[in-house]
Structure 1
Amino acid sequence: MTQQTRTVRYGTTRFTLESGEDPRALRARYEQAVPPVPTDRVDELVRRRAPWSDMLELISASAPFDFLVYFRGQADQLFPLAGDDAMCTSYLMGNHTIAERMYRYEPSILLYAPLHTVIWAEPDGPARFSVDRPSDQFGSFGRDEITQVGRELDRKLATLLDHLGLPVPAELTD
């Protein structure tokens, strides 16, 4: 059996958007707009092998801006032990019903789904929101079907940023 290695080099655009407000305020608004994935309800659908349409309905009703939080990491509780005093919360934000539309073509898209987002601030500084452009990440797979979903995620991210009162980079709406 021949083993193959595929190497893909690509660039991505990282956006860091300053809100001018206290990071705790931005974090609270973000977590209201992007609620946690309803894990118990998702698990129940999986347990009973429900039709995918039930999953689509659940996630649509649960994600007001089409995104859910799959993980929340409070670095600002951990790193002060090392003397760091920046505020930082990292998230895995996504929507597995959207990810499935890429997964069917290449399961390794899960390298980038859910998306990584970070709300952070230097000590006594304004809140910042950082995220990589989804279409750059998903475009690296070289399949139009995946790239198109990445562009859709760009637009959904733009809608979320606008709702949060953050600047919306033109690259997300081109």
Structure 2
Amino acid sequence: MSYAMEETVQEHPARRLTLATPARFDTLVHAFEAVVPMLSEEEALTQLTPDWAAFVRGLEWEAPSGFVRTATSRPSDLLQHAGSRSRSIVWTIVHHPIAARLHRLEPATLLSTHLRIQAHTTARPGTVLTLDVPSAALRAFGSNKITQGGVELDRALGDLLEDLGLPRPSVLRR
């Protein structure tokens, strides 16, 4: 079976933020996972009542930052067999209230509202966090409401980093 297709290619900017901190890897991972609880799609669907507002209130109680983890990957567990000495973890997190609002405006925004954050070690002591700044990608949709949602995600990420005891990065300022 073959389908007709219309192809569109859009360039969009990315702003990658790298934060080096003296925090120990295990300490930072534990702190992150404590403030950003795991909530898979399956678990979310079982907790979801017909009242979206009640679901969001429950999220605010369980995850004060507004973010939940939808996935956790530990690529260094595999890559150590290829000779890598760096420990690494990648989290996918989402702020459901903001993501839902942007999805109603444009479903493709989900590619930019499900955020990935990576933590890894280097030869120097401490941990490096790397993430893309959401507002940069969301601005490319050309909609003021979507751009505003990106700015809200930036602020929420800044709040999350402060919850971890890190200073708010300049690109995530209020």
* TM superposition score normalised by structure 2: 0.89
Residues 15 and 130, structure 1, Cα contact 8 Å, conserved in 2:
yes
Q: 1:131 maps to which residue?
A: 131
Residues 112 and 137, structure 1, Cα contact 8 Å, conserved in 2:
yes
Q: 2:79 maps to which residue?
A: 79
* AA of the residue aligned to 1:42: A
Q: Deviations over 1:80-118 (max 9, x none)?
A: 121211010001011222201100011111112210101
Q: Which consecutive residues of structure 1, in runs of 5 or more, have no partner in the other structure?
A: none
Between the aligned partners of 2:58 and 2:33, the Cα distance in structure 1 is 18
* AA of the residue aligned to 1:37: L
Between the aligned partners of 1:5 and 1:144, the Cα distance in structure 2 is 25
Q: Deviations over 1:8-40 (max 9, x none)?
A: 212221111111121111111111111112656
* TM superposition score normalised by structure 1: 0.89
Between the aligned partners of 2:42 and 2:14, the Cα distance in structure 1 is 34
Q: 2:26 maps to which residue?
A: 24
Q: Which consecutive residues of structure 2, in runs of 5 or more, have no partner in the other structure?
A: none
- Larger displacement relative to structure 2 (103-112 or 51-60): 51-60
Between the aligned partners of 1:23 and 1:103, the Cα distance in structure 2 is 34
Residues 18 and 166, structure 1, Cα contact 8 Å, conserved in 2:
no
Q: 2:45 maps to which residue?
A: 43
- Larger displacement relative to structure 2 (133-142 or 123-132): 123-132
Which consecutive segments of 4 or more residues in structure 1 shift more than 4 A?
38-41
CA RMSD of superposed structures (Å): 2.1
Between the aligned partners of 1:77 and 1:12, the Cα distance in structure 2 is 28
SS in 2 for 1:72: strand
In the alignment of these two chains, the number of paired residues is: 172
Q: Judging changes above 3 Å, is the alpha-carbon distance between structure 1 residues 39 and 110 closer, same or farther for their aligned structure 2 residues?
A: closer
Between the aligned partners of 2:151 and 2:124, the Cα distance in structure 1 is 35
